[in-house]
Amino acid sequence: MNKPKMTTEKGVPSNSRVLMLLGQLERLNREAMLADAEIGRQITAKILHLIQTQEKTRKEIMSKGSSGMEVILATLENTQDLQTILNILYILNELLTVGGGRRVGVFVSKGGTGILLQLVLSGSKDSPPSEELMLQLHSLLAKVGPKDRKFGVKARLNGALNVTVNLLKQNLQNHKLLLPCLQVLRVYSSNSVNAVSLGKNGVLELMFKIIGPYNKKNTSLLKVSLDTLGALLKSKTNARRAVDRAHVPVLLYIYQDWHRNDTRHRHMLIRKGVLGCLKNITNIKLGRKAFIDADGMRILYNTSTECLPVRTLDPLINTSSLIMRKCFPKNRLPLPTIKSVFHHQLPHVPAGGPVAQLYNQPLGVDDVVDESDDNDDVETENDTENEEEDKDHHAMNDDIETDINKLRPKETHSRPFEELKIYERFFLELSEDFQRFNFDNPKSGVTATAAAPKSQRLIIVPTAQALPPKYPTAAPLQEERHLAKGEQPHPEASPLAPAPTPAPVHTLDTINITKDHDGCCDHSQVRPQPEQEQELVQGMERVALEGTGPQGGAGGGVNRHYRQPPLLAGGVAARQGGGAEETLAEEWAEEEGGEGAVLEVPDTALLLPLHDPDLYVEMVKSTRSVPQYSEVAYPDYFGHVAPTFREHILERVYGVQSPLPPYRTKIFQDIERLIHPNDILDKVVYDLDIQSCPVIDDGESLKFNSQFESGNLRKAIQVRKFEYDLVLNSDINSNHYHQWFYFEVSGMRVGAPYRFNIINCEKSNSQFNYGMQVLMYSVQEAISGRPRWVRTGTDICYYKNHFSRSSIAAGGQKGKSYYTMTFSMTFNHKDDVCYFAYHYPYTYSTLKMHLQKLEALRTPQIYMRQDVLCETLGGNSCPLLTITAMPESTSNDQICQFRNRPLVFLSARVHPGETNASWVMKGTLEFLMGSSPLAHSLREAYIFKIVPMLNPDGVVNGNHRCSLSGEDLNRQWQSPSPELHPTIYHTKSLLQYLAAIQRAPLVFCDYHGHSRKKNVFMYGCSLKETVWQTNISATSCELHEDLGYRTLPKILSQTAPAFSMASCSFVVERSKEATARVVVWREIGVQRSYTMESTLCGCDQGKYKGLQIGTRELEEMGAQFCVALLRLKRLTSPLELRNHAHLLDVESDLIETRCKVTSSSPSTYVLEDEEHSFMEEVDYSAESGDEPDIDPDTADPHDNRLSDSESNNHRDSLT
């Protein structure tokens, strides 16, 4: 070692006594006078005395610029005198005990670790070794080791590792020396190679000799021993060794004993240490089996239950629940196959990808579970609960596009213009001369889609049972009764064909329902006999359409079980209908003394000007579904009126969703299934896989149904009296994407605490953990005049469960699990019919109804045309809308201005489960068709081309993400297939045509929903911002880019309360290169190409902070998008709007206020200024705990903002 020269820090007096002594020690080193041991002893003894008595002495030695540490280490390395060595070790212990990690860091950087390890090795050669020397050396190493990253390697290579082990074996009864040796061994064990080596040397067995049952003596020694054992057991080899030597029952016994005797909870760390050892052992399959065999589940369950009342014992409860969840035997989903229960044959199968694998899967393969899955040990370091968040936050740079050529727009068009000319017919407005248009009667010349002729198909209300033979009815009514049971008198008829024999159409206003003596219902228009009058019918079903029964799930030509939806006791006025019908209904009610049951339909015409139940039913009749649905869900029929009250983001309940402890109440209830299996009913009450009878009704259970448009529920299993496991259906031609649900429940008891568990969710995290609630629609409430979806449910949480995902279902990955979304519910009405949904449903038939109603709102000043862009795989039409303002006259100037308006291209609902996108689109369409001056100027400023629903088939059939092709359509924009992806192919073709005629849109925006983030925000495309996030080297000329792409989101952040600029991202990622946003930006050359994401949960900023988002806020967002487009027009073309100064005040009002739905005007919005209360921000991990180590159930949380939001903030000023 180099001989250091003593220096002093500026400001330290040169006559300081300790510095003088260090100077003397330095001269001894330099002059090799350490052979004179007595002088060295005296100097080091004096330094030790000064350090022990004067605090300033320590500071002088360790101060920045002082070489005191180097002198001390040089002396320690060179001297051979034991007392001098001990004096220096005492000095170092004093110096490193205080001062934190900085002093230890200085010691390590000066090579102190190597010197101590060398002294351990040389001291071990003495016979016997000096106990005091070993004690001091190991005490120092225990302080230094954790700060030296290479400590374990140095000790192994040096040989000090074996010295410590031998010392441990020889001093098991010498607790004074044993404690520092164990502390050093704990640090050694953090190195995996060392841990295996120590296990082979019998250290594992030594630890079990030290730890034992409850004992008040030497608790600190026991704590360190357990920590050391826990570190050793992180090695799978050592864990197997512990299982082979039957140490698992020993650990459980020790834990029980300490739990039983530590009544005052003073030794919680010891109990936690035992659990830590069990947690590491159970990371391997053998350990989990040994834990189950030793009755570990029952032991930990009972001890944890006893700990629940004591809040300070949360760490024990958390660790126990993690162990129990990990050891819970993996079960298969209760399904015959994970493929969708419905099947649609494709015109051809793609050459590769998941759909091809699905079609090429051999017959008889069990795709629900893999036998090999259980052979994989649990990898706690890698299998985190937040794997998707890890991708979003930690590995984002890996996904950013680094090929600068892919970040530049394509200069050549991929398709010849002759091929694109066929799309000219969708752009009549670009060549329209209006010469044949009569401006005196403007509506006569506007091109629009004619309303479909009204179908004469019979509407019936299905009943619970067939009519009894003792009450014969006419032939038409017998047929009606059969249809109510699901029978098909004409199986060969198309589901859209009219009824074979004419029958009077029964509207819901005139149907009179009474119950006979046997509890059966009669749908006769003939007035009932007095002896048939009984109590009010308590159960009612949904509206049903005459036709063939559902195929695939329910099968054709078989009896089905139907139920009746509820009616309130008489006196509620029916919806206004024809005068004769209304009189007839009132007449019947009077004759029955007020006891008759007339099916009430709430009068929502004033509240919902764009909703018409009768028109909705007509739209349903032309909607084609794979299961051939013949039923209509009540919420879609009655409509939804947004509630006037605020729905706050649900506060996380301690013990359910809070990070400490996580969801433990739900976990313990699940564990009880294993401990008390006799309490589990395991009764299937609804199963679409049973084609003959999906509803199993024994009168004791809830009744479920999902066989209506957009419905999704595959199976319901009653596990306890008031608890049900629910299984969702996969997307058609897929074996995953379980998230969207929409189903009906009836037969409930008032006040009973029901729990529903959706057990096959796939995403690793959900906003259900952070305040989002499910949506419920009560038919009783609707009939009472409150037809609305409301946020509901308590004890909501989302967590990994014990149902195993096969490698087929997990994309080739083994050992994955499904997740459970659970919520509790208490019903308020007897015999109600309630619907539950993931988000506010918006069906394809609803869209068709809204478009027809919007067309009726068209004024002479509005140019609106509805075309059919194409037909989908399922035979549904994809509407294309054109909206702009009519020219004021046929003058050349007016026609030229009309044709040359810039285009705005909007699309939505490419993902069926993102229903919020349709509600935003509804707000946009209503605003565009409105009569306000702002709407009129917007139409004069732009031509809007809108595809309001890109994936009708997915929406109709209850898919979450895919179309009938089994593929995510928003990943097909690069090379869409006209056969498999017709809506994407033709929408892209429209854009390619516009680019070919030099009329590319000014703005392209695709509306989406986001399941894991709050607020509304945008994704855009920027060459510069993508390059800034990578290490790409590019010249300034290569990065030339107009910052106009930021203008629109910046405007929205100022106008829309729900919009968050901080959450926006303009980075192009490799995984998104085939999305609409990126393809339109790169191939069509649209600089302002966006995806607008709306939260499914709520907002954590702005006026809506702390509130769950509703349809009112979503529709407002669609309207505010229009306002932002007008301001964008004013900013980009200020001269064109110079004559519209009167609009500035209107726009200012919209910017400064929040919109509110009214019931009196189709324009939907009025002004409101109220601020919402603030709410504390929550973290975004699905499961978190207090454990410092990385674990799948205690991974560090991430917040809900985008990873690049901070980098975006400082660039907002650019716009």
**Closest residue by Cα to residue 1057 from 970, 1119, 1145:** 1119
Chain centroid to Cα 1065, Å, comes to 19
CB 61 within 8 A of CB 68: yes
CB 496 within 8 A of CB 624: yes
What CA–CA distance (Å, rounded) separates 25 from 39? 9
Roughly how many angstroms between the first and final C-alpha of the chain, as a whole number? 61
H helices of 124-218, in order, are 131-144, 151-158, 160-170, 175-188, 192-200, 203-210
- Active site annotation includes 1093: yes
DSSP-derived secondary structure for 1007-1036: EEEESS--SEEEE---HHHHHHTS-----T
Chain centroid to Cα 1062, Å, comes to 20
Helical packing angle, 236-244 and 203-210, nearest 10°: 60
The number of residues in the chain equals: 1215
What CA–CA distance (Å, rounded) separates 508 from 540? 13
CA dihedral 494, 497, 501, 505 (to 10 degrees): 130
Burial 227-243 (b: 16+ CB within 10 A, else e): bbbbbbbbbbebbbbbb
CB 738 within 8 A of CB 713: no
CB 1006 within 8 A of CB 1076: yes
Phi–psi pair at 632, nearest 5 degrees: -120, 130
Contacts of 381 (CB under 8 A, 6+ apart): 1190
**Closest residue by Cα to residue 854 from 566, 1042, 610:** 610
| H or E element at residue 824 | strand 816-825
Greatest C-alpha distance within the chain: 126
Q: In a 3-state reduction of DSSP, which class is residue 607?
A: coil
CB 123 within 8 A of CB 83: no
DSSP helix, strand, coil percent of the chain (3-state; round to 5): 40, 15, 45
CB 823 within 8 A of CB 773: yes
Question: How many C-beta atoms surround the C-beta of residue 458 within 10 A?
Answer: 21
CB 426 within 8 A of CB 867: yes
Q: In a 3-state reduction of DSSP, which class is residue 684?
A: strand
**Closest residue by Cα to residue 1198 from 590, 865, 719, 765:** 765
Question: How many C-beta atoms surround the C-beta of residue 73 within 10 A?
Answer: 21
- The residue type found at 858 is R
What CA–CA distance (Å, rounded) separates 64 from 81? 30
| H or E element at residue 835 | strand 833-837
CA dihedral 118, 120, 123, 125 (to 10 degrees): -90
What's the token pair of residue 1078? 């990126």
| H or E element at residue 107 | helix 100-109
What CA–CA distance (Å, rounded) separates 575 from 605? 9
**Residue tagged active-site, from 479, 781, 1093, 1116:** 1093
Residues carrying an active site annotation:
1093
